[in-house]
A = this chain, B = another copy of it.
Amino acid sequence: MTLLLNNDEAERLLKMPEVIDELALAYSDLARDQAINRNRSDTAIPRPKLGASYVFKSMEGGYPRRGVYALRISSDIIQWPNRADGQHRKEKLPALPGNRWLGLVLLFSIDNCELLAVLPDGIIQRFRVGATNGLGIKMMARQNARRIGLIGAGYQAGTQALAACAVRTIEEIRVYSPTAAKRQAFADEWSDKLGIPVIPVAHAKEAVANADIVLCATNSMQPVIQADWLEPGMHLSSLKRFELPAECYRRADRVAVHTRLWEPDMLMMGEENIPDDELWAKRKAGDGIDWLNQPEIGQLTSGQISGRDNDQQITCFMNNVGLGLQFAAAGALLFEKARQTGAGRELPLEWFTQSVVS
């Protein structure tokens, strides 16, 4: 039987502290060669009539501790528009009938090869990103961190805040987003959900000032804070390399990354779909940071390297690219909970198997 799950079930069953603990085990296994990833690949095909590109993304990971292998895929029409405000963003259009998106996780058994579960990736992907940056905070931020400055009020920002609150006793969050209504709505929603004050602020600098933890959770391809806003003892957390200016990374006393797999393998058909602007040129040129010699999160969770030496250091965790292993670990957790609670719809084994070898 294959279990078909949906986002509502994922949201009901996944608990951030449990995802954080499971990912810590997975990363530590990876650091000891007891887990494996197949690096993310993005394959782009120009769709000139749509003014966009079709992009198929896939990543895989194996997690023997729980006997699973995960494949995560997405099938998207993507634009890289140049916004009026000068910010570059990557936008996935809701191209499917009913303005829907397609992102899926397939979970397999490494004991009998079975397709255990199929689920949309919308919720699980936020949990795994949140949990990963939460682990960055757990391993690197000051033990007495209390105040968060949050840049971004989009779909990742909430799970980032949730994860931070799972690993430190957070008393206050100041949130900045360019749109006043959006940051207010976020503040209202998450004050309730987290049970602490979430205060909208009109400038990114106000969010960062006096914060112990600066959480960047945007889809910006340009810096959203400035290096001269940094204060001793801060922990910086980022979802995208270009959210932070290179100077922030250089000023940090310790920088850790999610993975040395570093970035997706980009495959492009033709050239016209490449967002060939200044930022991408910089991306290619590098920024003077020796990224591949920064520790990975698994070296921190497994105790091979310490997150910080004292409360004055500035630390930084940069979640550079996703890993299939995250979906294997969070997926195994979700699958077990679904089995325990009878959630999901069972699909026949025959649909996804065959009586002949291929």
Contacts and interface: CB of A to CB of B under 8 A. Distances in A.
A103 interface: yes
Contacts of A103: 354, 358
Contacts of A75: 69, 108, 113-115
Interface footprint category on A: 35 or more
A155 interface: yes
A4 interface: yes
Interface stretch (A19-27, A30-38, A229-237, A310-318): A30-38
Interface string A183-218: 000000000000000000000000000000000000
A104 interface: yes
Contacts of A122: 354, 356-358
Interface stretch (A57-65, A163-171, A281-289): A57-65
A251 interface: no
Instruction: Name which of A4, A94, A121, A155 has the most chain B CB atoms within 10 A of its CB.
Output: A94
A358 B108 contact: no
Nearest to A219: B357
Interface in A326-358: 349, 351-358
B38 A62 contact: no
Instruction: Name which of A4, A113, A349 has the most chain B CB atoms within 10 A of its CB.
Output: A113
Contact of A111 (B47, B267, B356, B358): B47
Interface string A122-134: 1101100000000
A112 interface: yes
B113 A102 contact: yes
A98 interface: yes
Given A36-B45, A349-B97, A358-B125, A76 B7 contact: no
Given A60-B43, A358-B125, A71 B73 contact: yes
A119 to B, nearest CB: 9
A353 B54 contact: no
Contacts of A101: 113, 353-358
A267 B38 contact: yes
A100 interface: yes
Nearest to A154: B357
Contacts of A71: 56, 58, 73
A349 B95 CA distance: 13
Contacts of A50: 111
A69 B47 contact: no
Interface in A102-158: 102-104, 106, 108, 110-115, 118, 120-123, 125-126, 155
A349 B43 contact: no
B56 A62 contact: yes
11 contacts: A54-B69, A54-B113, A69-B75, A97-B114, A98-B353, A100-B349, A100-B353, A101-B113, A101-B357, A102-B352, A122-B358
What are the 8 A-B residue pairs with the smallest beta carbon separation, nearest first?
Answer: A120-B354, A54-B110, A103-B358, A122-B356, A36-B269, A100-B353, A75-B113, A75-B108
Given A35-B269, A45-B64, A102-B354, 19 more contacts: A4-B351, A36-B45, A37-B267, A38-B41, A38-B56, A38-B267, A41-B60, A47-B111, A56-B69, A56-B108, A62-B269, A69-B75, A96-B114, A98-B349, A101-B356, A102-B108, A118-B352, A120-B354, A122-B354
